[in-house]
């Protein structure tokens, strides 16, 4: 068993292959957090904590005159509120009598085979298949360990029940344990059993207290077209936080955080990763206390959040995926990649090569018709491209971005044919058909808005704010979800559509649910996210053969919650290869390469005007799902030959790219950026290098490889030269002398 309880010490230990997470039922029933880190032999780690009187930190009420036990200094598993702990609280609640307090004490625990599920929310699963529609309710799934013939998905669930010392108010902590993956998940259920309604205005999914604050924090911040830039900084006294109030996880701050020892690098040092399986407003806080302890919490953002808990209501908090590595950031990323790829992504497209597509957006924008798309498909098929994706502008009255959203019926006058005919004619060219949609949005200049203006978010008596000339449909309302569902089905039933790009092009404001009374408006934002998840679950269940790609102005909703429904997400609207290096580098810390939507686009680049070689654009796009976004008719014959070569190469390397071990070899700010893929068997490897700085009279650039067998020999594919694994890893590989700007290299090795 991965979870063990010691009756003598009252410790609960979660042991994965390389880590231990330990709790203790402490004085007066407080559930203490003892330890999380390298695997230990099982002793009670509470010996590291000293109970003593800390001035101005009051003792617990039931401790009487015992001045040595204060919640303000105890390392807790779920922090209490307004009972003497002045650090970041876990759950903040006002009871029916008006009092603000929560004093949680241990009641019971249970260890079960299988993995819990969360009602209405995405979560990791354990059966290895992850079929849409398979997980319902806050229950434990028994049938696990079937995926791909591997046993690493076998899971256990630990359930711990806590209760307020006075009120009938319960918090159930849920832990999912993947022993062979070194992954632990956390979530919680919050229930009021009092006769009077309680009001909750803050809740976290997890909290963890460390006895030392000597750590750095990695966050992944940015903006539209420059998402998930890795930022590392030292933690100091006080509170460090990131979060989103944009209604989505956002371009600005990603719901993924790393805490690490100051000397931690790619291959050494201790580090902790926390990924929130949620796509709405979130808050991650790190507080360094007066006693130089560190508390990390992750939950729904408390701003504009308020939940009425009537008697018997259970509120389900989203899941956090946690992992620890004692061997550096590279190992941490590897653990998260495998967990998300195999036990979070679902359906037939979670593994295996996905179709190489061409999207017409940067080729035509709104200016196209059916014949233009068919001509693109014909040329694309000649080069080996496998799918045409019709982007924005095919529906309603949609020749620019100020009208048409919400009217999900084909504009046959513009297309010059029916959608069914277009699909069939594209298929006749030998490639499949995909389509772009933005189902969560509406333009005021649309049939839908004229008929149902009340379906869009707007505050009573106020003019709503517009983003990209559009408003947001309130998916928290069943009538809105049903319309969107039926509209999408009517399109997908038109013909053989095998791919949907699901876009969402603005931050959410003016949040107000017309179905809720005033006192429940604090739930409107969360209900929107739950409505989105319900809609996505229905769509993916009905159309399991359709590949869904998530998008929100690029990477504005690139999070673990969306990966549960869409196994790939458009990484960024910035398609410039050089800026993509930094975006994809930051993304790689927490998310699998197979989830990264990446395309080769035209030059000069449409976002910043930069000119980069076509080969380099292909190299960068191969650090993810591969495709094109340009006008083929404007390409030279030489460029078309290069495209054919890129497609051949991607097909050759795709299993390495999507499922191989990923290594960061150099940072984007260095002279060159480099990354590497290695097969599970360590018999194949692909090294990718982009020169980011051209220099005169430059010294040789050497890149040191990782992940190979030291005692094996490897042949370089292009030159036939043989190197030992130890030489390539410890001595390195000498790159060709660079000439010209932004040159790139793909170096492929096979074991001999």
* Each residue's pLDDT tens digit, 117-152: 999 999 999 975 566 654 456 665 543 323 333 334
Q: What pLDDT was estimated at residue 696?
A: 75
**Structure confidence by residue, pLDDT tens digits, 366-419:** 999 999 999 999 999 999 999 999 999 999 999 999 999 999 999 999 999 999
- Dihedral pair phi/psi, residue 678, rounded to 5°: -130, 135
Catalytic site residue from 503, 559, 574, 576: 503
Active site residue 573: yes
Burial label for 518, CB within 10 Å (0-12, 13-18, 19+), is exposed
Cα distances (angstroms) measured from residue 372 to each of 417, 498, 632: 12, 20, 11
C-beta separation of 184 from 124 below 8 A: no
Q: For 533, left (φ over 0), alpha (ψ -120 to 50), or beta?
A: alpha
pLDDT at 144: 30
Options 3.40.640.10, 3.40.50.1100, 2.70.98.60, 2.160.10.10; CATH of 3-333: 2.70.98.60
Rounded to whole angstroms, what are the CA distances from 152 to 126, 129, 144, 183, 657? Answer: 9, 13, 10, 10, 21
Q: How confident is the model at residue 722 (pLDDT cuts 50, 70, 90)?
A: very high
pLDDT in tens, 324-379: 999 999 999 999 999 999 999 999 999 989 999 999 999 999 999 999 999 999 99
pLDDT above 70 for 275? yes
Buried b (16+ CB within 10 A) or exposed e, 230-243: beeeebeeeebebb
Strand, coil or helix: 653: helix
CATH number belonging to domain 544-659:
3.20.20.70
pLDDT category of residue 269 using cuts at 50, 70 and 90:
very high
Compute the chain's Rg from CA coordinates: 27
Percent of the chain exceeding pLDDT 70 equals: 96
So what's the pLDDT on residue 231?
Answer: 97
Kindly report the CATH class assigned to 357-512. alpha beta
For the chain, domain boundaries: 3-333, 357-512, 544-659, 672-751
Using 50, 70 and 90 to split pLDDT, how confident is the model at 55? confident
Fold agreement (3-333, 672-751): no
Reported as a pLDDT band with limits 50, 70 and 90, residue 35 is very high
SS3 (DSSP) at 654: helix
Catalytic residue check, 399: no
Per-residue confidence (pLDDT) for residue 147, from 0 to 100:
31
pLDDT value of position 21:
98
pLDDT in tens, 154-186: 899 999 999 999 999 999 999 999 999 999 999
pLDDT of residue 52: 87
Cα 644–646–649 angle (5° rounding)? 110
How far does CA 682 lie from the centroid of its chain? 28
> Would you say residue 670 has pLDDT above 90?
no
Distances (CA, A) of 284 to 137, 205, 243, 300, 564: 26, 10, 6, 9, 21
Q: If we measure between CA atoms, which residue out of 743, 677, 668, 742 comes closest to residue 706?
A: 677
Average pLDDT value for the chain: 95
Residues sharing a CB contact under 8 Å with residue 142, sequence separation 6 or more, in sequence order: 113, 114
In this structure, what DSSP letter does residue 573 have?
S
**Can you tell me the distance from the alpha carbon of 632 to that of 627, in angstroms, rounded to the nearest whole number?**
13
Asked whether 713 and 682 are in contact (CB, 8 A), the reply is no
CB 561 within 8 A of CB 276: yes
Q: What percent of the chain has pLDDT over 90?
A: 92
Which of 85, 164, 391, 573 is labelled catalytic?
A: 573
* Whether residue 664 has pLDDT greater than 80: yes
Rounded to 5 degrees, φ, ψ at 440 are: -85, 0
Task: State both tokens at 523.
Answer: 């739930």
Distance between CA 288 and CA 31 in Å, rounded? Answer: 20
**164 has which bridge partners?**
104
Cα 421–Cα 391–Cα 546 angle in degrees, nearest 5 = 70
What pLDDT shows up at residue 145? 29
- CA–CA distance, 113 with 176 (Å, rounded to integer): 10
Say what the pLDDT of residue 132 is. 61
Q: Give the model's pLDDT for residue 673.
A: 95
- Per-residue pLDDT of 684-711, as tens digits, reads 999 999 999 877 777 789 999 999 999 9
Torsion of CA 146, 147, 151, 152, to 10 degrees: -140
What angle separates helix 614-621 from helix 637-659, to the nearest 10 degrees? 20
Question: What fold is seen in the domain 672-751?
Answer: Immunoglobulin-like (2.60.40)
Strands 319-325 and 271-277 turn out to be: antiparallel
């Amino acid at each position: 068993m991965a979870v063990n309880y010691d009756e003598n010490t009252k410790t609960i230990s979660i042991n994965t292959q390389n880590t231990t997470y330990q709790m203790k039922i402490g004085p007066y029933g407080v559930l203490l957090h003892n330890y999380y880190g390298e695997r230990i032999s099982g002793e009670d780690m509470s010996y590291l904590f000293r109970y003593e009187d800390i001035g101005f930190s009051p003792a617990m009420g039931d401790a009487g005159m015992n001045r040595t036990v204060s919640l303000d200094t105890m390392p807790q598993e779920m922090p209490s509120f307004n009972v003497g702990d002045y650090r970041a609280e876990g759950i903040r609640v006002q009871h029916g009598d008006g009092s603000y307090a929560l004093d949680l004490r241990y009641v019971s625990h249970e260890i079960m085979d299988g993995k819990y599920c969360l009602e209405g929310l995405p979560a990791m699963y354990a059966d290895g298949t992850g079929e849409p529609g398979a997980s319902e309710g806050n229950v434990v799934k028994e049938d696990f360990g079937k995926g791909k013939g591997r046993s690493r998905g076998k899971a256990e669930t630990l359930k711990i029940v806590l209760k307020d010392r006075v009120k009938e108010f319960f918090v159930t902590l849920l832990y999912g344990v993947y022993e062979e993956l070194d992954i632990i998940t956390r979530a919680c259920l919050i229930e009021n059993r009092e006769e009077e309604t309680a009001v909750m205005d803050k809740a976290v999914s997890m909290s963890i207290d460390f006895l030392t604050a000597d750590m750095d924090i990695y966050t992944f911040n940015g903006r539209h077209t420059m998402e998930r830039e890795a930022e590392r900084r030292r933690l100091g006294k006080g509170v460090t936080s990131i979060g989103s109030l944009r209604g989505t996880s956002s371009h600005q701050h990603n719901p993924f955080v790393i805490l690490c020892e100051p000397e931690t690098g790619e291959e050494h040092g201790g580090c902790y990763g926390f990924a929130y399986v949620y796509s709405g407003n979130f808050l991650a806080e790190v507080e360094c206390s007066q006693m130089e302890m560190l508390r990390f919490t992750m939950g729904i953002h408390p701003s504009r959040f308020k939940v009425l808990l009537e008697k018997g209501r259970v509120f389900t908090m989203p899941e956090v995926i946690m992992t620890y590595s004692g061997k550096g950031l590279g190992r941490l990323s590897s653990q998260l990649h495998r967990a998300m790829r195999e036990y979070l992504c679902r359906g037939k497209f979670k593994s295996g090569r996905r179709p190489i597509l061409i999207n017409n957006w940067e080729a035509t924008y709104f200016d196209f018709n059916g014949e233009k798309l068919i001509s693109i498909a014909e040329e694309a098929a000649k080069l080996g491209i496998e799918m045409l994706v019709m982007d924005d502008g095919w529906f309603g009255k949609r020749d620019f971005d100020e009208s048409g959203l919400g009217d999900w019926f084909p504009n046959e006058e513009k297309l010059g044919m029916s959608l069914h005919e277009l699909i069939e004619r594209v298929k006749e060219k030998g490639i499949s058909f995909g389509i772009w949609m933005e189902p969560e949005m509406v333009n005021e200049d649309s049939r839908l808005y004229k008929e149902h203006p009340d379906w869009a978010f707007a505050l009573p008596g106020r003019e709503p704010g517009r983003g990209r000339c559009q408003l947001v449909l309130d998916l928290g309302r069943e009538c809105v979800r049903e319309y969107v569902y039926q509209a999408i089905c009517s399109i997908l039933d038109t013909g053989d559509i095998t791919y949907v790009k699901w876009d969402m092009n603005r931050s959410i404001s003016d949040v107000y649910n017309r179905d809720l009374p005033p006192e429940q408006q604090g739930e409107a934002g969360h209900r929107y996210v739950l409505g989105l998840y319900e809609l996505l679950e229905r769509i993916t269940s009905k159309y399991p053969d359709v590949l869904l790609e998530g998008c929100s102005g690029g990477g504005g909703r690139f999070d673990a919650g969306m990966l549960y429904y869409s196994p790939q997400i458009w990484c960024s609207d910035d398609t410039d290869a050089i800026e993509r290096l930094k975006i994809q580098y930051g993304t790689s810390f927490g998310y699998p390469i197979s989830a990264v939507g990446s395309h080769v686009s035209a030059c000069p680049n449409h976002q910043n005007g930069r000119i980069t070689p076509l080969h380099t654009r292909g190299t960068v796009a191969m650090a993810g799902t591969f495709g094109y976004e340009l006008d083929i008719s404007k390409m030279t014959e030489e460029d078309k030959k290069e495209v054919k070569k890129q497609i051949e190469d991607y097909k050759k390397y795709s299993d390495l790219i999507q499922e191989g071990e990923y290594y960061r070899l150099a940072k984007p700010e260095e002279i060159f950026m480099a990354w590497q893929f290695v097969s599970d068997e360590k018999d194949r490897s692909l090294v990718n290098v982009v020169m980011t700085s051209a220099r005169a009279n430059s010294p040789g650039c050497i890149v040191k490889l990782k992940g190979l067998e030291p005692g094996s020999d490897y042949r370089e594919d292009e030159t036939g030269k043989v190197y030992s694994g130890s030489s390539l890893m410890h001595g390195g590989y000498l790159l060709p002398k660079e000439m010209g700007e932004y040159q790139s290299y793909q170096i492929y090795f096979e074991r001999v």
